[in-house]
Structure 1
Amino acid sequence: MAGANLTIDTVITGPDVLARMDEAMGNTAPLLARIGEYLQDATRDRFKTQSGPDGTAWQALQPHYQRRKKQNKDKILTLRGYLRGQIHWQTDGDDAVHVGTNAKYGAIHQFGGSIQKSARQSTVHFGGGKTKHLFVKQKKAKRSLQVTVPAHQVNMPARPYLGVNAGDQEQIRLRVMDWLNGQ
């Protein structure tokens, strides 16, 4: 999982401070669960705002892709919602939470990059006569043609959805403070 590190310095005052901290540090699982749930929700919310952790809007879809996209035409990184739905958190020992996705295509969307597509054979189906569309499904085809699609490269822009911003850091700090105070 791609992730970010965050260090939080706190000052705790009140009676029995060391005793409370010692007791709390014995079992950090509840704290890590609170932080993990918060970060998972914050990451999923970025799919609604269509922006990265730093508030920068994601690069718009290419017009030719947006025209042929069948669902969620106005949403970036969302066709059926699988990527957003596969954002999860997990603990790493007693002192870390990882937030990310195990979707194969998650990294290319986060970091961007080039995808090399090899040459392949395909069958193209054409409508005939007064059909509204040039290309149709096989059962509606008047004729078909075997074609070779040449090797090509697809360039994906980076659209970061994972990360921690200043607002997230403050929310994590508040959760740590609540946890240390026994709430």
Structure 2
Amino acid sequence: MPSIAVVYHSGYGHTQRMAQAVAEGAGARLIAIDADGNLPAGGWEELKAADGIIFGSPTYMGSPTWQFKKFADASSKQWFAQEWKDKVAAGFTNSAGMNGDKFNALVDLFTLAMQHSMIWVSQGLMPSNTRAAKRDDVNYLVSYSGAIAQSPSDAGADAMSAGDLETARLFGKRVAEVTARLARA
């Protein structure tokens, strides 16, 4: 089984709940970026040792949080040493709006991965976009580049859509399967 890390920042708990679902699907270790934008002790070493890294952040004002950006900027040492080159990468985000410019946040995560010469894994799920589709269906929000979720701004993480959380779990599973396939190659 490949070693996968989910490194994420969560402002109010919604993205943490999504990270937990992604990690469950991937059999991954969670590494939380704290409120000051720092990793816990040993976090950088865990990322170096991982076969794959899944990035996660809420979408605030159309991009990842400043805490996630601080982490991304701090990864320049890893970039210079090419420590993450050819590792599998993927990303997820959550916002209060149905759209909320989540795609732009995913592009930021993708760009970070490309800067590090990583291999990006897409969502890999067909959309739930028929008239019969329900809000709790898998990939109801329809993303191909990474997992996305929507959480009402006046509700806690316990009110997240079951379909969004299942989408996140299936996304983590896909990342683990692709990482395992590449490790065997």
Instruction: Decide which structure has greater helix share.
Output: 2
State whether TM-score is above 0.5. Answer: no
For the aligned pair, the TM-score class normalised by the smaller chain equals: under 0.3
Structure 1 or 2, whichever has the larger Rg, is 1
